[in-house]
Amino acid sequence: MSDISLIVGLGNPGKEYAQTRHNAGFWFVERLADQYGISLKADPKFNGISGRGNIEGQDVRLLLPTTFMNASGKSVVPFAKFYNIAPSSMLIAHDELDMNPGVIRLKTGGGHGGHNGLKDIVPHIGPDFHRLRIGIGHPGSKERVSGHVLGKAPSSEQTLMDDALHHALSRIKLLVNGDVQQAMNQINAYKPN
């Protein structure tokens, strides 16, 4: 199993989106950067914000695309190609409508599941990357999805998501050191309080 050398968080750029549910992937990478003292800087060449640092003994790059969610591939694909990072060494963190707030799952491969960020990435690099799916809940009807993902969660839901992110961050050592199965077992066993 290959070590993870690129961790991407999906979201939308700009202050007005920072606290919205669609930015759950950004939250994960920003907290990871804080936890390991990695500075994230604008990287216009790759339409993103990126950083590089030592995470649990591994050299890992972090990337937040600034292209808006639907065009995430315009940042992720050239970045991965330039640094010669195989999909199997990538972890992409993103919000997940089909899971409740507080639920967090790690999986490898699969389709895009209707997620607009993944839809723009999978056709270019294939499905064989790792995904950290961060539950944000579903509003109940298709018509309300856009307002839901671009809305701010009530504090009760935000707390559940924060706790789940904290749990995943505490398992990052397993992930970056290539023990993806063990990380999956521990992350996926998490139950919100």
Instruction: Tell which residue, 89, 31, 35, 24, has the closest CA to residue 60.
Output: 89
Domain 6-189 has CATH 3.40.50.1470: yes
Side-chain half-sphere CA neighbours of 15 within 13 A? 0
Q: Is 17 annotated as a binding residue?
A: yes
Catalytic positions are 22
pLDDT tens for each residue of 67-91: 999 999 999 999 999 999 999 999 9
Question: Annotation-wise, does 82 bind a ligand?
Answer: no
- pLDDT score recorded for residue 1: 46
Residues with pLDDT less than 70, the chain: 1-2
pLDDT value for 32: 96
- 86-112 confidence digits (pLDDT tens): 999 999 999 999 999 999 999 999 888
83 is annotated as contributing to ligand binding: no
pTM of the model: 0.96
Does the annotation list 100 as a binding residue?
A: no
Phi, psi at residue 13, to the nearest 5°? -75, 160
Confidence at residue 3, expressed as pLDDT on a 0 to 100 scale:
84
